Homo-oligomer: A and B are copies of this chain.
Amino acid sequence: MRGDGAHALRRFSFNQATSQHWPLPEVVAGCVAGGVPGIGLWREPVAAYGLARAAKLVRDAGLEVTSLCRGGFFTADGWREENLRAIEEAATLGTSVLVLVSGGLPAGSRDVDGARHRVADAIAELAPHAAAAGVTLAIEPLHPMFCADRCVVSTLGQALDIAERFDPGVVGVVVDAYHVWWDDTVYAQIARAGARIAAFQVCDWVTPLPEGVLLGRALPGDGCIELRRLREAVDAAGYSGPVEVEVFSAEVWDRPGREVLAASVAGYLRHVA
């Protein structure tokens, strides 16, 4: 059973944001105990724990860091320094994937085209630094409901339009089921993405959305997204990397971390793997 379980979870990764209030050492211990080989990290809890200490913790535990969230926010002041730091942190943590959430419109702006140009320009500026650090800048299209305030990159096609200007090892894309499932062109864009797919994340879509819409996600299988179909599509495009469960949900965050990890594993096995 143990052997079967470990094999079935070979590609599974637990993004730490899924259990927001679970302290990092306990997340790591939980992953090890559960036969989970991968973990997705976030900069803020890593910084709170200490970067070098966090890197040692996950390395000693034998966990693969499948991604670091997040760089981006290119329309904010200080974006350059922040992103250079994020690249270094990814390298220190031993992950080659830095997820980019590109940022929304500057306050008071209506210039969505301008913001989008700024994203492409910023990535061009960061690309040599990412290449030198061995880190892939993974552009994550966010659901269009976040266009104004979080991310002006709203579709996989748009992310690829930017990414394709660069070497695939340096600039890739994130396919997060929550953000792209509604798009009638998503399967064509996944096929187009091919080796550009740097990360694949899953959770589920449920309604009604909560105020602010950020924390309305559900565990895999609890909503209406064809998660397995999307996983099969990224596989068919040539992706064979980790599948991260990443759920932002006030309700999930209130549950004990170990229980959430177990539910994430169960949802993954039943609806994604």
Contact = CB atoms under 8 A, between A and B. Distances in A.
Give the number of times this chain occurs in the complex, counting copies.
Answer: 2
A76 interface: no
Contacts of A110: 224-226
Contacts of A184: 116, 154-155, 157-158, 161
B148 A226 contact: no
B212 A112 contact: no
A182 B147 contact: yes
A70 B157 CA distance: 31
Interface residues of A, number: 35
Nearest to A107: B224
Interface of A: 105, 109-112, 116, 143-145, 147-149, 154-155, 157-158, 161, 181-185, 205-213, 223-226
Given A143-B144, A213-B213, 17 more contacts: A105-B224, A109-B224, A110-B225, A110-B226, A111-B226, A116-B184, A144-B145, A145-B213, A148-B224, A149-B207, A149-B208, A154-B184, A155-B184, A157-B184, A208-B213, A209-B211, A209-B213
